[in-house]
Amino acid sequence: MNLATRVIALAFGALGLFMLFPGDVESRRLGLAALLFASMVGFIELGLWAHSLDLDLGAQRRAAAPSSAAVTFGPVRVRLALFAASAACFGATPMVISGSVLSLPSILLGGPPMAAALLLALWATDPRPLVSIDREGVCDRRTMRTLLPWSRVEAVEIDDDGLGAIMLRCRDPEAFRRNGPLAAQSARVDGFLIHTLLLDGDAEAVFAAASRHRLWGTR
Q: Do 75 and 119 belong to one domain?
A: yes
Q: Do 80 and 7 belong to one domain?
A: yes
Q: Do 146 and 170 belong to one domain?
A: yes
pTM, two decimals, is 0.79
Q: Do 63 and 11 belong to one domain?
A: yes
| pLDDT (0 to 100) of residue 56 | 94
Output the average pLDDT for the chain: 84
| Long-range contacts of residues 166-170, Cβ cutoff 8 Å, at least 24 apart | 166/193, 166/194, 166/196, 166/203, 166/206, 166/207, 166/210, 167/191, 167/192, 167/193, 167/194, 168/138, 168/192, 168/193, 168/194, 168/210
The per-residue pLDDT for range 176-213, each reduced to its tens digit, is 988 876 666 666 678 888 989 889 999 999 999 999 88
Q: Do 120 and 23 belong to one domain?
A: yes
The per-residue pLDDT for range 20-77, each reduced to its tens digit, is 666 677 777 788 888 888 888 888 888 888 988 999 999 999 988 877 678 999 999 9
| pLDDT (0 to 100) of residue 83 | 94
Q: Do 119 and 165 belong to one domain?
A: no
Q: Is the peptide bond before 66 cis (omega within 30 degrees of 0)?
A: no
Domain boundary among 66, 90, 125: 125
| pLDDT (0 to 100) of residue 199 | 92
Q: Do 115 and 148 belong to one domain?
A: no
Domain boundary among 70, 100, 125: 125
Q: Do 16 and 32 belong to one domain?
A: yes
Question: Whole-angstrom Cα distance, residue 18 to residue 36?
Answer: 14
Confidence tier at 111 by pLDDT (50, 70, 90) = very high
Q: Do 81 and 144 belong to one domain?
A: no
Identify the domain containing residue 30 by its residue range: 3-125
Alpha carbon of residue 75 to chain centroid: 6
**Contact call for residues 109 and 57 (beta carbons, < 8 A):** no
CB atoms within 10 A of CB 157: 14
CB atoms within 10 A of CB 213: 21
